[in-house]
Structure 1
Amino acid sequence: MSRVIHTEGDVAEWTFPAEPGAVRTARAVVRGQLRAWGLESLSDVTALLVSELVTNSLRHATGPIGVRLVRPSGLLDGLLVEVSDPLPDPPRERSAQPDDETGRGLRLVADAARRWGTRPGETGKTVWFELALPD
């Protein structure tokens, strides 16, 4: 079960337990929030990238997974998405072979996002990406 932290104004945040259902639930709440903000056109790509990052957190970290959306306003001209977990090590991009079943998530994020990166947190790390608004 997810725990809603904050969904007012330009920021929406959730915490998910490190359980397989977290990926599906994260996609659903992200899509719902983007719909509420009138940003449905970003739903598919945002849900896909959130799925990849939450899946990485499930595979490599234990503990809660945070998802945060920041709606474009003021100085921010794109949608900012953050996925946090308690593992301090930043993720590494891999070169997946055609028959590999894993290793494509960060490449997908890098290719689809305008910008992306990682930063350390108090108890782990955050992987973030920014999506440009459609014209």
Structure 2
Amino acid sequence: MVRTNPSGSVPYAHPCFAWENELAATFQNAVRKAFPHAMITGHDPLIPLMTNHPKDRHVMAAAVHVRVPVLLTFNLKDFRLPEPKTYPDLFQVKVMHPDAYLCKCFRQNPELVRLRLHEIATRRKTDFAEAVRYLGKALPRFSEEVIGSGA
């Protein structure tokens, strides 16, 4: 996760990555260029209201601000929410693990998910089963469900 300092001017990297500022800036610029529609502003006043882990409050504040229905994260433990009575608007944001989300998508529309998986396999220049097994490293339930369906 690359962030900017509180003034918003100088990029820096999340400490876990130990990136130099130049690399962090390059990555941040690439993400902004690739996903300009995903940049969220105006959420800073909500950050102090968030009760999840302090290092991730800006993420939850952004999700609440734009009213996303689902926030996907592998890091569920840092996105625990307060009781609904405290902040009922927060509970319009559902926090899900990507594995659970993709399983739900697959159950709702298996043909579309298979189509997207075939596209991923084609881009990776591999076959469908190998692409699904590769995804299984991070998304084991999803991979098992797709393979188990005979796709």
Normalising by the residue count of structure 2, what TM-score does the alignment of the two structures yield? 0.26
| Structure of greater relative contact order (alpha carbons < 8 Å, 6+ residues apart) | 1
**Structure with the higher helix share, 1 or 2:** 2
Normalising by the residue count of structure 1, what TM-score does the alignment of the two structures yield? 0.28
Structure label with greater radius of gyration: 2
**Structure with the higher strand share, 1 or 2:** 1
